[in-house]
Structure 1
């Protein structure tokens, strides 16, 4: 049941896709979990490969408090776990006709993982009538039970989690995010089993929130982090993750099993870099080739497959997950003589680092390149970001780098907001009730990646139309002609776009006066946060840096009356709007800075006040008075 917390909103079949859609949008308080009991017991198994299993049992009782409804229930499993039985009871009567669906987890019908899912519909037939699910599941390897969450998609009146640990099993159970929750622990000893029993009881747990752009669950929700150390059974002593070295040793052993075909990889590497003499250009060519030719199949944390797919298989399929893409990138670079290595990393979705030896620490794999005394990190899953630029999700994150039988810990650079600068320069004049002139745009970093993702999300023959819609924000009065772009297929350089503009009805007249709004974009306009509904901190997708300038010719015979400037500067963000007159020109400059992508709840009030100031400033107009 622990994985339901992380995966309930994933789609895995038409039926369960519909059900999970309901769960995502179920914001009312109709459904509650009256009681839930979970038990996890470590048992010795007669299996040399998997000498320790974990037997899980679950009983969860759901009720509707207002009206009848149907809700989804889902549980993941894989080649290291199996679901033994699922039973459904309504008002204590067994409903044998309710059959769970067992399906491969797929994306676009590509079964690219050993992950599977079990799901069913639960009918809550009448207010107050209890519908209960009982489930039996086993984990073949204790490493794969990384965490047990208390919170559920619905409010929980009472939840009991019992963990039975025989004395031959050494494990650390870390209590995470317990503050502010009513959770108690009762530890007892079972003499017959020679086992310690940890019984956690939680009451009145709030439902998990569905806030968009929220921190990952490991930052927020109470859970048990399960850290298996070792076990001594009749099969001998099995070491799991006593320390970080053990975690790396296990990862490294999987890498040794990959089986890359070096001849095939070298042939492809030479093909990609044919005619290129510069080392740097070869590196960039390999990086961009993987970005452009290998489809990224994304799997979130919890997938049981930690062994990268062989590079030749990724080449053949032309798709892969982060592990497969990282291994292919490494293989191509190594074939060219570069020092390239695999890296394990947890994105900013995860609260832990490698001081905690657990598979819960990382959910991503990239490649490191040591070149001329400097280390570069390469993440080909970021399709449109340039070499030596880093996505927000991995910035400042600790990374584990392969180093034969040892490892290296490092950090991804924490890039400043200037990496993602977006510039717009407009030179305009008044033509009747229109503004006409020229516009130049420049994009870098993740602002460029965002634009290219939007534009390339369309069919190739419609890219130009998509670019126009993006630039004019679907405003048919913002007429664009003579559009010229830099190479949109080379994202290792700035993206630049130039065009001629005729902005119809942008000039309002009253008598001898003209009124002009100088800002067409109005970034963050009305971006206030509803503090009555939102419970989680807000995470911007990346740090932002917007710099816009509009130069407006003052028509002959007119003088300009300028609005007041706006200057807001906080620790995490800044808004600057300035007007000035230089000779016969009005110059409007705007700078929007999001220097910290994490906006804490404690800052919401100030943020909302500042956005209101920004909105008010956006509505101000330049007035041109006839002399």
Structure 2
């Protein structure tokens, strides 16, 4: 009912040129690349498993720096587009043209890591670039297997809002939970014909500008998350009323998926026969799946949430994150070891789950063994046991226990865990070229690329990638040896190379950088009138011993006489250079700490990093005798 009340108003706006850019207030143009003129979203829930979604969206695009020129709809066998239409208006608000239905293109939603998915995208694109202009999109989608309700993303960065609303139409007895992020907007509730109607409205929201090193969107942008107390997907029923309830739903999906074949049970006994502890048993079984399974994603219907049975994985020797984690759990169960599937948001963490609101924004599954406090990333063929990788570290997760869902947290990755220790020898010649030999000990995130590259690249591909990654001018790799540890998240990397332009020559002088192997130059850009808090998760330690062998006939003219030391809450830096027995010895240590600062701290933090970059760029001056 509420949806159709809106239509006469929108029609009047179209006929009267109501979309003219002149109708946007100066306050809404500031920092804006686009302005949401009107957005009305309506979700009519018919039952826990069925709904219809309607949306009408009108956006004025002020320049090319936005994504509103196209409408992208996610479709699948359970999400069918019933109506889709679009119009384009010029800066005066006059209709330029309507987008025809045959202009809508369909694209597969298969991910790079999937061999098959049944999801697709329907894409309607304006194909217009004379800014400013306005797009008007309207669509409706019928949904079955209703598990997740759409969020109300009120605005994106550099987007202001004139009017926006989200309406939820619920049948009798169906409850929801909701969580408002960065806004105090509350819904207006009313009853209509026994159904509960909740409507959120926003008007006159100024654009929130992009600033580097800001909090994730969940800590910055206004947003409303909605979780149903009852849902149904492919005849499985569940609830997001609490994490305990959602965990019980996941247990339903896992039931009957653990059974191993008789042959595999014998294999478990064989693999663990000589293990003298549960930890040794876990490691033996983990090595077995790493050596015998490969990660392949197949996302079909409820298969996006339910793993393949263990015997299927045993037969096919592949599976997605849920399937291989479930298989590993089955092996551990056979060995008498309890483990829990773990739902996690891997990668960039835009929203972190909390204990008080069950909103399963997960995209990955790993495994946890509580008796040994061991975490297992079962999709990796190379990680050592109890290392989950930087993309999974330090975040809240959901443990699927036999009693339901319980909040847990993966281990933090502290700065000392991301270590790069480099021993560098540079033999210079008088023309500025050099023979470079490097021995590195890398841990944590610093070693992940090398471990993965050794497992997945040929020798030629590895050398090419290493060559292209070097910042040294005229770098020509001669030898390369990478040795990842099987027991620890570390790797030894040794290489030698010729560098054509290690130093720069001017007359009889040779200018040599104090740290050219891995200099720090990641200085954040300047931001005037900073508005947002400062967040940086980067944390690492670099320790270098660099030996410069002087070219024949040269002596040192200029060398940093004093140690360079910078200590602050943001990190610690120490550089010492000395001439010893005809060699220049440079000792360098840089510890970078994660920061969470008010906006006023940005300039001070940036200046600290500028000093580090400046110190790393110092030149040693050699002169011909």
Q: How many angstroms does 1:149 deviate by?
A: 1.5
2:202 equivalent in structure 1: 201
Q: Determine if the alignment matches structure 1 residue 41 to structure 2 residue 44.
A: yes
Mind listing any 5+ residue stretches in structure 2 that lack a counterpart? Answer: 1-30, 89-94, 232-236
Residue deviations 1:436-460, cap 9 Å, x none? 4643111112111033445666445
* Partner Cα separation in structure 1 for residue 104 and residue 212 of structure 2: 30
Residues 430 and 510 in structure 2, CA contact (< 8 A), matched pair in contact too? no
1:229 and 1:343 mapped to 2: Cα distance? 22
Q: Is the 8 A contact 2:35 2:59 kept in 1?
A: yes
Residue equivalent to 2:69:
71
- Equivalent residue of 1:393, what SS? coil
Partner of 2:492: 496
- Paired residue secondary structure (2:240): coil
Give the match for residue 50 of structure 2.
53
Partners of 1:535 and 1:258 lie apart in 2 by 51
Give 1:375 deviation, angstroms: 1.0
How much has 1:376 moved relative to structure 2? 0.6
Shift of 1:575: 3.2
Using the alignment, how far apart are the partners of 1:72 and 1:304 within structure 2?
29
- In the aligned structure 1, how far is the partner of 2:554 from the partner of 2:460? 47
Change (3 A) 1:596 1:64: closer
Q: Shift in Å at residue 613 of structure 1?
A: 1.9
Q: Deviations over 1:76-111 (max 9, x none)?
A: 244554433323345498755445445542125945
List per-residue Cα deviations over 1:20-71 (Å, max 9, x = no partner): xxxxxxxx9775442111112333x4xxxx4x5333211112445579x993
Between 126-135 and 136-145, report the one with greater CA deviation.
126-135
Q: Give a deviation string over 1:239-262, Cα, whole Å, max 9, x none.
A: 723322211111111111536544
SS in 2 for 1:392: coil
- Aligned partner of 2:392 in structure 1 is 394
Q: Per-residue displacement from partner, 1:401-422 (whole Å, max 9, x unpaired)? A: 3332345543222131121211
Offset of 1:597 from its aligned partner? 7.1
- Residues in 2 aligned to 1:330 and 1:402: alpha-carbon distance in whole angstroms: 12
Q: Which residue of 2 aligns with 1:135?
A: 139
SS of structure 1 residue aligned to 2:391: helix
Distance across 1 between alignment mates of 2:392 and 2:486: 22
SS of residue matched to 1:415: coil
* Structure 1 residues 516-537: Cα deviation after superposition (integer angstroms, max 9, x where no partner): 3231124331533253799877
Q: How high is the TM-score relative to the length of structure 2?
A: 0.77
Aligned to 2:167: 162
Structure 1 length-normalised TM: 0.76
Q: 1:176 is matched with which residue: 164, 177, 181?
A: 181
Question: How many angstroms does 1:200 deviate by?
Answer: 1.6
- Deviation string 1:328-354 (CA, Å, 9 cap, x unpaired) is 332344444443331123346153435
Structure 1 residues 42 and 422: CA distance shift in structure 2, 3 A: same
Q: Give the CA deviation at 1:289.
A: 5.4
Residues 98 and 120, structure 1, Cα contact 8 Å, conserved in 2: no
**Residue 443 (structure 1) aligned with residue 446 (structure 2):** no
Rounded Cα–Cα distance in structure 2 between residues aligned with 1:337 and 1:62: 59
Measured in 1, the distance between the counterparts of 2:178 and 2:387 equals 38
Q: Is the CA contact 2:338–2:369 (under 8 Å) kept in the aligned structure 1?
A: yes
SS at match of 1:466: helix
Q: Measured at CA, do residues 448 and 260 of structure 1 come closer, stay the same or move farther in structure 2, by a change above 3 Å?
A: same
The 1:40/1:174 distance shift into structure 2, 3 A limit, reads same
CA distance in structure 1 between the partners assigned to 2:623 and 2:269 by the alignment: 67
Measured at CA, do residues 100 and 616 of structure 1 come closer, stay the same or move farther in structure 2, by a change above 3 Å?
same
- The equivalent residue for 1:358 is 358
Give the Å deviation of 1:378.
0.8
Alpha-carbon separation, structure 2, partners of 1:295 and 1:539: 36
1:59-98 to 2 correspondences below 5 Å: 59-64=56-61, 71-78=69-76, 81-89=79-87, 91=95, 96-98=100-102
In structure 2, C-alpha distance between the alignment counterparts of 1:176 and 1:42, rounded to whole Å = 23
The aligned residue for residue 24 of structure 1 is none
Instruction: Please give the alpha-carbon distance, in whole angstroms, between the structure 1 residues aligned to 2:133 and 2:466.
Output: 55
Counterparts in 2 of 1:75 and 1:315: CA distance versus 1, 3 Å: farther
**Quick one: distance in 2 between partners of 1:203 and 1:112?**
44
Counterparts of 1:592-607 in structure 2, within 5 Å, are 592-596=590-594, 603-607=601-605
User: CA 1:74/1:303 → structure 2, altered by over 3 Å: closer, same or farther?
Assistant: farther
In 1, the alpha carbon distance for the partners of 2:317 and 2:87 equals 46
Structure 2 vs 1, CA of residues 66 and 287 (structure 1 numbering), >3 Å: closer, same or farther? closer
CA–CA separation in structure 1 for the residues paired with 2:238 and 2:428: 76
Other-structure match for 1:244: 243
Q: Distance in 2 between matches of 1:346 and 1:418?
A: 24
Give per-residue Cα distances to partners, 1:255-282, cap 9 Å, x unaligned: 1153654446547767988998886566
| Cross-structure match for 2:547 | 551
CA distance in 2, matches of 1:594, 1:312: 47
Change (3 A) 1:152 1:437: closer
Q: For residues 113 and 462 of structure 1, what CA distance do their matches in structure 2 show?
A: 30
> Hey, what's the Cα distance between the residues in 1 that align with 2:369 and 2:424?
40
Are the counterparts in 2 of residues 166 and 196 from structure 1 also a CA contact under 8 Å? no
CA distance in 1, matches of 2:77, 2:200: 28
Asked if 2 retains the 8 angstrom alpha-carbon contact of 1:139 and 1:145, the reply is: no
8 Å CA contact 1:385–1:445 kept in 2: the answer is no
Aligned partners of 2:539 and 2:291: how far apart in 1?
25
Q: CA deviation at 1:473?
A: 3.7
- Equivalent residues of 1:384, 1:449 under 8 A apart: no
Q: Gaps (5+ residues) in structure 1? A: 1-27, 232-237
C-alpha distance 435-124 of structure 1, shift in aligned 2 (>3 A): closer
User: 2:180 touches 2:223 (CA, 8 Å); kept in 1?
Assistant: yes
Q: Which residue of 1 aligns with 2:12?
A: none
Which residue of the partner structure matches residue 220 of structure 2?
220
SS of the residue corresponding to residue 339 of structure 2 reads strand
Q: Please say if residues 415 and 591 of structure 2, whose CA atoms lie closer than 8 Å, have aligned partners that are also in contact.
A: yes
Question: Aligned residues, how many?
Answer: 576
Q: Return the alpha-carbon distance in structure 2 between the equivalents of residues 227 and 93 of structure 1.
A: 39
- 1:323 aligns to what SS in structure 2? helix
SS in 1 for 2:229: strand
The equivalent residue for 2:321 is 322
Give the secondary-structure state (helix, strand or coil) at the position aligned to 1:247: helix
